[in-house]
Structure 1
Amino acid sequence: MFNCNVIAIDLAKNLFQVCKTDKNGKVIYNKAISRAKLKELLIKEKKSLVAMESCSGTHYWARFAKQAGHYVKSINARQVKAFRQGQKTDANDALAISVAARQSHIKESRLLSVQEQCLQGMECMRDLLVKQKVSLSNQLRALLLELGHAIAQGDAKLIQAIPEILEDAENELTHTFRFSIQVIFRRFIDTIEEVKLIEEKLREIVKEDQICTRLQALEGVGPVCAILMKIALGNTTHFKNGREAAACFGLTPVQHSSGGKEKVGSISKVVGSKKLRSALYKGALAVVCQLEKRESRSQKDIWLRELTVRRGKKVAAIALANKTVRTAFALLKHNKEY
């Protein structure tokens, strides 16, 4: 793959910086071109290694380059930064991508299909609506609490309390304030319904998808977590083993070792798939909490109970999430049931 020209693309919205180097690393050109010209260039160029940073548009351009007959390599922006020389310009960025693409030790980022991107987009929209629902709920509670109306936790309590407060003529709320509260409350109700609609569509997809059905058999894995794991682990050839997948998702301790002395710390809060790790952790924590209320049914339950006693619930939940990812990888790689 590396005995060919490299076409490094610094992606943007309309104007792209393209750096072409030969197999010896000599720059042939480094220029800015439009979106239409980039498509023409990829079609006309002979088979090359097309490299780009992992960012918005990467999956689309990677699929387009593959259809044009090129090799494709997507690289994390943090890894590219180490190879940039001089000030940050589009030309220097494109050249850095070209240099980084030739490094055999740099692991490329995974590319998604159109179906996987659409599924990921649906989950992002659901997540956005949930955040908006929580934001609206907090706003209503905070404003009314300042006026002496304390509302219990939970959406059901809020939905019950707001109409009662608005209909109470003796609470001294002004007419305009009541109107504003009603507007925000209506938006809150609409957002809840919109979340339910998207979740219903996601549940339909999960029921029809064999991979998601198999993944839901794992402890602490629900529909949302199954979708996120399918997107992350759909191409099992991207990882060598389950341990590498768990490390990629940020479920392994950070190491800072030198001179033969190994120092192992906590999990990193910077690297990894934060959304997937959060979903796995919440599911695993629910399993750990439920384990206290029932008897152990398997060797995994015994291991988890002993770990909880020894290290606490949160460490046990992360350990279970790690094991869940490694088990899911093995299931998908060998096409087996749990």
Structure 2
Amino acid sequence: MNSTTTVVGVDTAQQVFQVHWVDAETGEVFSKQLKRVRFLEYFANMAPCLIGMEACGGSQHWARRFLEMGHEVKLMPGKAVKAFVSGNKNDVADARAIWLAVQQPGVRAVAVKSEAQQAVLALHRMRQQLVKFRTMQSNGLRGLLTEYGEVMAVGRAALNRGMKDALARLAERLPAMLIDTLREQWDMLGKLDGQIAQIEQRLLAWMKQDKASKTIAQIPGVGLLTATAAAATMGDANTFKSGREFAAWLGLVPGQVGTGGKVRLLGISKRGDTYLRMLLIQGARSVLCHAKESGAWVEQIQKRRPSNVVAVAMANKTARTIWAMLAHDRQYQKDYVSLKPA
């Protein structure tokens, strides 16, 4: 962005959008409310400018449309914009805060994703929701059966083993309408299994065609879900300056508080994408549990730190490896050692 570029702050919504910008030559402040049908038309008649928006629902769609028009777009986390809201919170104040935030050098932008990348992430979200429904369904069935004296061990396998016999015993003394409903709810678990498996097959088909996903799937602890989610979430790896910055963006580094020159490290910051961070940590746990040789680096950490800290450290290393492979277009090398440039 140069000094002559017009900066526009946009507060998006479903039907009414608020726009805020200042004319660089006259200093005149423009604060307009636009209907959805006139929104793109307003920017189509403007010279190329920098448009700032919060990274919220629908912002990726509008960002892609603005880029097609030749504008520059910067999506920002809502937390970064909130600091610039003064007075009462409303659409006018939000648009002005976005206009201020987009001009700050320290505010990190959220990558604009393609429709294909967003489609992959949509599959992940739907799968995550189905898994949650399946867990709720299973726990609900187990709880209802407990009310009638049928107690089962924790886990889906135990439920499948004991459900048929439990329903047969309960059918001797309970109304048929309840038994039929319980059987239908049990069958629903199988349907959820099928839907989840179908989504995973579609993700697998996409991974076979996507170079980035296939590349990072070679890393130990990175499977189908992690590879596709990481490639789609990151977008362009060159958006980040280093693997350390990417790991920090995912919240896999310690938070810190400090004053008077004294800094105290806390637990991980948990910023960024919760879902991808969870996948990386679970993948690290799998490597630590099943790898025959974890390596000298991990063994040294295990001697002095708790298992959860070791898993997060491993996930941090995996995130940095993902960035390095995509940013430098390299294949995974088990014994690769990075060296600082001379």
Q: Structure 1 length normalisation: TM-score?
A: 0.93
The change in CA–CA distance for 1:262 and 1:330 in structure 2 (over 3 A counts) is same
Partner SS for 1:168? helix
1:286 partner letter = S
Structure-2 separation of matches of 1:169 and 1:233: 52
Structure-2 separation of matches of 1:334 and 1:65: 29
Structure-2 separation of matches of 1:169 and 1:318: 46
* Residue number in structure 1 paired with 2:14: 13
1:331 aligns with 2:325: yes
- Deviations for 1:159-203, whole angstroms, at most 9, x for unmatched residues? 332222223366522222212212221222211111111111111
| Contact 1:8/1:52 (<8 A) preserved | yes
Structure-2 separation of matches of 1:144 and 1:302: 49
* Residue number in structure 2 paired with 1:191: 192
1:303 aligns with 2:310: no
* Residue number in structure 1 paired with 2:277: 277
| Contact 1:10/1:52 (<8 A) preserved | yes
* Residue number in structure 1 paired with 2:286: 286
Q: Matched residues, percent identical?
A: 33
Structure-1 separation of matches of 2:171 and 2:36: 63
Structure-2 separation of matches of 1:96 and 1:144: 54
* Residue number in structure 2 paired with 1:118: 119
Structure-2 separation of matches of 1:165 and 1:28: 72
Write the mapping of 1:146-157 to structure 2, written as runs, cut at 5 A.
146-157=147-158
Which stretches in structure 2 are left out of the alignment for 5+ residues? 333-342
Partner SS for 1:255? strand
Write the mapping of 1:91-102 to structure 2, written as runs, cut at 5 A.
91-102=92-103
Q: CA RMSD in A?
A: 1.7
Higher mean C-alpha displacement, 135-144 vs 31-40: 31-40
2:310 partner letter = A
The change in CA–CA distance for 1:9 and 1:72 in structure 2 (over 3 A counts) is same
- Deviations for 1:57-116, whole angstroms, at most 9, x for unmatched residues? 111111111111111111111111111121001011111111111212222111111110
Structure-2 separation of matches of 1:128 and 1:268: 25
- Deviations for 1:35-62, whole angstroms, at most 9, x for unmatched residues? 1100111111111111111101111111
Please report how far the alpha carbon of residue 24 of structure 1 lies from its aligned counterpart in structure 2 after TM superposition.
7.0
Count of residue pairs the alignment pairs up: 331
Structure-2 separation of matches of 1:72 and 1:234: 15
Structure-1 separation of matches of 2:28 and 2:295: 59
Aligned with residue 312 of structure 1, among 303, 306, 311: 306
Structure-1 separation of matches of 2:187 and 2:306: 42
Structure-1 separation of matches of 2:179 and 2:26: 68
Please report how far the alpha carbon of residue 234 of structure 1 lies from its aligned counterpart in structure 2 after TM superposition.
3.1
* Residue number in structure 2 paired with 1:179: 180
Q: Structure 2 length normalisation: TM-score?
A: 0.92
| Contact 1:54/1:77 (<8 A) preserved | yes
- Deviations for 1:268-304, whole angstroms, at most 9, x for unmatched residues? 24x221101111111101111224xx3x3xxx61221
Please report how far the alpha carbon of residue 138 of structure 1 lies from its aligned counterpart in structure 2 after TM superposition.
0.5
Structure-1 separation of matches of 2:317 and 2:236: 19
* Residue number in structure 2 paired with 1:248: 249
The change in CA–CA distance for 1:170 and 1:196 in structure 2 (over 3 A counts) is closer
| Contact 2:117/2:233 (<8 A) preserved | no
Structure-2 separation of matches of 1:169 and 1:15: 57
Please report how far the alpha carbon of residue 150 of structure 1 lies from its aligned counterpart in structure 2 after TM superposition.
1.5
* Residue number in structure 2 paired with 1:88: 89
Structure-2 separation of matches of 1:194 and 1:170: 30
| Contact 1:236/1:332 (<8 A) preserved | yes
1:66 aligns with 2:60: no
* Residue number in structure 2 paired with 1:321: 315
Which stretches in structure 1 are left out of the alignment for 5+ residues? none
2:60 partner letter = H
Structure-1 separation of matches of 2:26 and 2:317: 43
| Contact 2:52/2:102 (<8 A) preserved | yes
Structure-1 separation of matches of 2:162 and 2:26: 68
Structure-1 separation of matches of 2:171 and 2:238: 67
